[in-house]
A and B are shown apart, each in its own frame.
Chain A
Amino acid sequence: MREMINIALPKGRLGESAYRIFESAGYGCPDVLSDTRKLVFEDESCAVRFFWVKPSDVAIYTERGAADIGVAGLDILLEGEHDVYELLDLGIGRCRMAVAAMTDFEDNAGCTLRVATKFPNIAKKYYLSQGRDIDVIRLNGSIELAPLLGLSDVIVDIVETGTTLRENNLEVRSEIVKISAMLIANKISYRFKNRRICELVERIRAEGIGND
């Protein structure tokens, strides 16, 4: 019997797109996309086991070996500095990590910049590279509200279309990094299940995905 490959998918739209990539590469598994409360789906003929987890937890499951491979946004990987392999850029969930501010905000380089964000590590690293002193305000959601209410000067957040920013009188001031979903692998599984993981990566590549 072939050894099972455990794959962690992020719940939501990104995970569904990622699953379709696995399916088209020949790793389909019935019912994964069905409306059920089941969390684990297995297909013995393909020797794969999929499970849905919170997007921010995919890298943790993979790093600790509960999943052999997973799909995680580069934002989560950069923020958590997880010790995993980043095997492929799947090219889905494309967006960018950016600094945004009110359209009339004038930055004074002499003052400490107040930065509201869900990604404190990315923000700190970015401003450290700029040599700028910042005060990080860690929030868990509705980051755009922070500059509107004077809680922060700028925000560091994910920008997809920019509509939310525009509607709130905010604009992108600089781009930090381009984000997309990555196929990640546990470093130990990569060694002990090397043949199967490499085969999976090659089959996804053969679908024209991740060819850089």
Chain B
Amino acid sequence: MQNETRYFSKAEKVSAECREIYSGYGYKQYNMSRFEEYDLYAANRDFLIGDSIITFTERGGRLMALKPDVTLSIVKNAACEGGRQEKVFYLESVYRTDQSSSEFREIMQLGLECIGDIGLYQTGEVVALAAMSLSVISKNYILDLSHRGFISALADRAAIYGEARGELMRCIGGRNSAGVRSICAARGVAPDLTEQLAGLTGLYGSMTDIMPKLELMSVGEKADAALAELRSIYRILEEFGCAERVNLDLSHTGDMKYYGGVTFCGYIENIPFALLSGGRYDGLLEKFDKPGGAVGFAIYLDRLSSLPEPKSQYDVDILLVTQECDGAEVARAVEKLRRSGRSVMAVRKISKGGPRCREIVYIEKMKDSDGEVSGRKGYR
């Protein structure tokens, strides 16, 4: 097994292991074309991260796009009528602009979606699978849970809508309590409600620490329902044994407008960006006139490159010095050494700056008294 995975990158190992886990919960691999009709993305811009899409015109005149997102295609094609459930995972490249450089990048994304007749269990299962995926990458991970319903209920109560709502969400998401207070002051929000909204920016921690504080802040049925859903999901996570590294972060407002309900975000120590992002997005299904709900997440595998990969001291285990031996003889020697499970590189002579190896073997020394390398001789 070690030989098969010797040169797998961290992202390749993670994606293989995660897909194995997903299939164990009834998810099937979803493969898609690299292109989609541009109209799909143009009609659902709100759902996309960033505005830029690479487009081109097909021979027939159709405007096509290199896919900036996978979920839209999955939802478009999902068969979820009649109480069905579509459970899929995917490993696909998406094409987006980099936020800092504004240049297009190909991003390898591993994701999972559960669409159709879904309930609390399915949402909990997807959150648990997100936690399991993170633990495949590193045991030192954190999964933050949030619920947009709770923040919306507070903002509704404060009667903050439109542009100011966006600004309020930005300030809450940025843990900027001064900004929240200034927006509330400009809108004449009552002092106790202002303090609750500003207080959200400082709340972060485990379910046991934070939930009682949120319960005290709750402002009506919508907010209570959001907290009840979070508690139920946490109980599902406990059953799966994934609750230990889960925190509550109600300041997390999600990247996309379509997210509603539970959202979650995953982090790994030493990777300076969120690695996993997901949540309920029933609104998108509604837009496609499909019944039921939807929940899913994506892991940005390219971000794993920030993790220090263990550096190998050697390029190869054995450097086989062959000098002028003939090809078949070298092949026999290489195979003999390979059968011991070590990696071998054959070179005619040792050169300066050549590959770093554990051991140098001279083919001459492998020869027996007949002057031949012993081994498989079937074809001679």
B is a partner of A: yes
Q: Which of A65-90 contact B (CB under 8 A)?
A: 65, 83-89
Q: Is the CB of B267 within 8 A of A188?
A: yes
Q: For the complex, is B190 an interface residue (Cβ under 8 Å from A)?
A: no
Q: Knowing A86-B174, A86-B179, A89-B178 touch, does A191 contact B144 (C-beta < 8 A)?
A: yes
Q: Is the CB of B272 within 8 A of A188?
A: yes
* Residues of B with C-beta under 8 A to A89: 178
Contact A194 B269 (CB under 8 A): no
Given contacts A86-B174, A210-B178, A212-B178, contact A187 B269 (CB under 8 A): no
Tell me the minimal C-beta distance from B163 to chain A in angstroms. Answer: 8
Residues on B with C-beta less than 8 A from A63 are 272
Contacts of B99 in A (CB 8 A): 83
- What's the minimum C-beta distance from A107 to chain B, rounded to whole angstroms? 24
CA distance A83 to B179 in the complex (A): 16
Is residue B175 contacting chain A, with contact meaning CB distance below 8 A? Answer: yes
The A-contacting residues of B in range 169-191, CB under 8 angstroms, are 174-179, 181
Docked-complex contact B204 and A194, CB < 8 angstroms = yes
Q: Is the CB of A186 within 8 A of B181?
A: no
Q: Give the distance to chain B from A166, nearest Cβ to Cβ, in Å.
A: 29
Complex Cα distance, B272 from A192, in Å, reads 11
Taken together as a complex, chains A and B put the C-alpha atoms of A199 and B274 apart, in Å, by: 23
Residues of chain A contacted by B274 (CB below 8 angstroms)? 187-188
Residue of B nearest to A62 (CB): B272
How many angstroms between the C-alpha atoms of A191 and B269 in the bound complex? 9
Cβ-based interface call for B142 (8 A): yes
A191 near B142: Cβ-Cβ < 8 Å:
yes
Task: Tell me whether A212 and B272 are in contact (CB under 8 A).
Answer: no
Asked, given contacts A194-B205, A212-B181, whether A188 binds B175 with beta carbons under 8 Å apart, the answer is no
Contact residues on A (Cβ < 8 Å of other chain), bracket: 20 to 34
Complex CA–CA separation, A185 to B99 (angstroms): 19
Binary interface profile of A, 159-180, with partner B (CB < 8 Å = 1, else 0)? 0000000000000000000000
A126 interface residue per 8 A CB criterion: no
- CB contacts under 8 Å to A, within B190-215, are 198, 204-205
**List of B residues within 8 angstroms of A186 by Cβ:** 272
Is B247 part of the contact surface with A, judged by Cβ < 8 Å?
A: yes
Report the Cα distance A83→B269, complex, angstroms.
17
The answer, yes or no, to whether A41 is at the interface (CB within 8 Å) is: no
With A63-B272, A64-B272, A65-B272: A191-B247 Cβ-Cβ less than 8 Å: yes
Question: How far in angstroms is the closest Cβ of chain B from A21?
Answer: 16
CA of A65 to CA of B274 in the docked complex: distance in angstroms? Answer: 12
A210 neighbours in B (Cβ, 8 Å): 178
Least CB distance from B373 to A in Å reads 53
* Chain B minimum-CB-distance residue to A81: B99
Q: Is A51 an interface residue (CB 8 A)?
A: no
Interface string of A171-212 (1 = CB under 8 A from B): 000000000001001111011101000000000000000101
Contact B176–A192 (Cβ < 8 Å): no
CA distance A85 to B273 in the complex (A): 13
Residues of A within 8 A of B267 (CB): 188, 191-192
Tell me, in angstroms, the Cα distance from A47 to B66 when the chains sit together. Answer: 48
Residues of A close to B178: CB separation below 8 A = 86, 88-89, 210, 212
Q: B174 touches which one: A65, A85, A191, A192 (CB < 8 A)?
A: A85
A212 to B194, CA, bound (A): 12
The complex places the Cα of A212 from the Cα of B271 at a distance, in Å, of 32
Which A residues lie within 8 Å of B198 (CB)?
A: 212
- Taking a contact as CB atoms under 8 Å apart, the answer to whether A192 and B175 are in contact is no
Taking a contact as CB atoms under 8 Å apart, the answer to whether B174 and A190 are in contact is no
Once A192-B142, A192-B267 are accepted as A-B contacts, the answer to whether A84 and B174 lie under 8 Å apart by CB is yes
Give bound CA distance, A42 to B179, whole Å.
Answer: 32
CA separation between A87 and B181, bound complex, in Å? Answer: 13
Residue of chain A at shortest CB distance from B144: A191
Residues of B within 8 A of A182 (CB): 176
- Chain A's closest residue to B204 (CB) is A194
- Which listed residue, A86, A188, A212, touches B273 by the CB 8 Å rule? A188
Residues of B within 8 A of A87 (CB): 175-176
Inter-chain contact A86/B175, CB cutoff 8 Å: yes
- CB of B169 to closest CB in A, whole Å: 14
- Over the window 263-294 of chain B, the binary record of Cβ atoms lying under 8 Å from chain A Cβ atoms (1 yes, 0 no) is 00001011111100000000000000000000
Task: Give the distance in Å from the alpha carbon of A89 to the alpha carbon of B177 in the complex.
Answer: 9
Residues of A within 8 A of B181 (CB): 212
Q: What is the bound-complex CA distance between A63 and B306, given in angstroms?
A: 14
Residues of A within 8 A of B176 (CB): 85-87, 182
Residues on B with beta carbons closer than 8 Å to the beta carbon of A190: 175, 204
Contacts A85-B175, A86-B175, A86-B176; A188 near B269 (Cβ below 8 A):
yes
Q: Could you list 10 further interchain pairs (A-B, Cβ under 8 angstroms) beyond the known A182-B176, A187-B274, A212-B178? A: A63-B272, A83-B273, A84-B174, A85-B174, A86-B178, A186-B272, A188-B267, A190-B204, A191-B267, A212-B198
- Residues of chain A touching chain B, judged by Cβ–Cβ distance below 8 Å, are 63-65, 83-89, 182, 185-188, 190-192, 194, 210, 212
List, sorted by A's number, 12 A–B pairs whose CB atoms are closer than 8 Å.
A65-B270, A65-B272, A85-B174, A86-B174, A86-B178, A86-B179, A88-B178, A187-B273, A188-B269, A188-B271, A188-B272, A212-B177
Closest 5 CB pairs of A and B: A65-B272, A86-B176, A85-B175, A89-B178, A212-B178
